[in-house]
Amino acid sequence: MSDNIQDFRLQPLVMYSDSGEVMVIKLIAMRKLLDKLRLVLNAEQQRVEEHADHIKVPLTTVKEKLEETEISLSELQSYKDNIANYNEVKEKGSFWQKLKAGKTPNYSLEDIIETEQSVNEDLFIFIVRMAKSQNKGMVYPEFECNEIINEKYRHYALADGELGISRLPRVLRLSENRSRFNADSIKEAVYQDIFESNQEWKSQV
């Protein structure tokens, strides 16, 4: 399997595309998940069932955390909209509209942006910490497999499907430049339809 993965990595389309890198991570992580599963397959049935339960936890937990994050970001967006509407009325509105607009919001756009960054940072740290506590259903290839695919990113693969091996894992791609990290990339990875036939093959820029 290692030779096959290496051959795949050397294909031109894979070498110069984000999608190709993610697929390589999925294959590497699947190999590691199979190794973890192999340790329990010969054990008693109860241990196998416990493994099956544990292996689902990371993906479920990330979805729950992502939902919390999106709620917070949605609320912050509403505050942004309030500021934009207030500024527009003060600049272009009629006398009555300006009067109706009331007092200046007691928060600034800079405050909101700073809080957004904090919310995204919290999600980043949550994922990194979870990799240490939920390693049965999660693989950190750069650490566990000693595989560096792209130095600009760290990758976390979440087991998916029955026993974590009936589907390729979901890959969370975290930029080492935290200012570029956002919840949207995590949402795309977690909820991507793996059966969609016309998914875009993303090239590196």
Determine the pLDDT at residue 199.
Answer: 46
Higher pLDDT, 16 or 179: 179
pLDDT of residue 36: 82
pLDDT at 165: 83
Q: State the pLDDT confidence band at 99, using cuts at 50, 70 and 90.
A: low
Sheet holding 153-160, edge to edge: 138-139, 153-160, 167-175
Q: Which residue type, as a one-letter code, is found at position 6?
A: Q
Mean of the pLDDT values across residues 137-146?
A: 90
Average pLDDT, the chain: 82
In this predicted structure, the answer to whether residue 76 has a pLDDT above a threshold of 80 is yes
Check residues 202 and 147 and name the one with the higher pLDDT.
147
Q: Residue 205 pLDDT > 50, yes or no? A: no
Residue 169's contacts (CB-CB under 8 Å, 6 or more residues apart) are 26, 29, 30, 33, 139, 157, 158, 159, 160
* 28: nearest Cα among 46, 52, 50, 3: 3
Say what the pLDDT of residue 193 is: 65
Sign of the alpha-carbon dihedral angle for 122, 128, 131, 133: negative
Give 48-75 pLDDT, tens digit per residue: 777 778 888 999 999 999 999 999 999 9
User: Of the given ranges (37-41, 163-167, 171-175, 184-188), which has the lowest mean pLDDT?
Assistant: 37-41
Residue in the block written with tokens 């693969």? 157
Flag whether the pTM goes above 0.75: yes
Q: What is the DSSP string of 37-94?
A: HHHHHTS-HHHHHHHHHHHHHHHHHHHHHHHHHHHHHHHHHHHHHHHHHHHHHHHH--
In this predicted structure, what is the pLDDT of residue 50? 79
> Does position 42 have pLDDT exceeding 60, yes or no?
yes
Q: Are 143 and 104 in contact (CB under 8 A)?
A: no
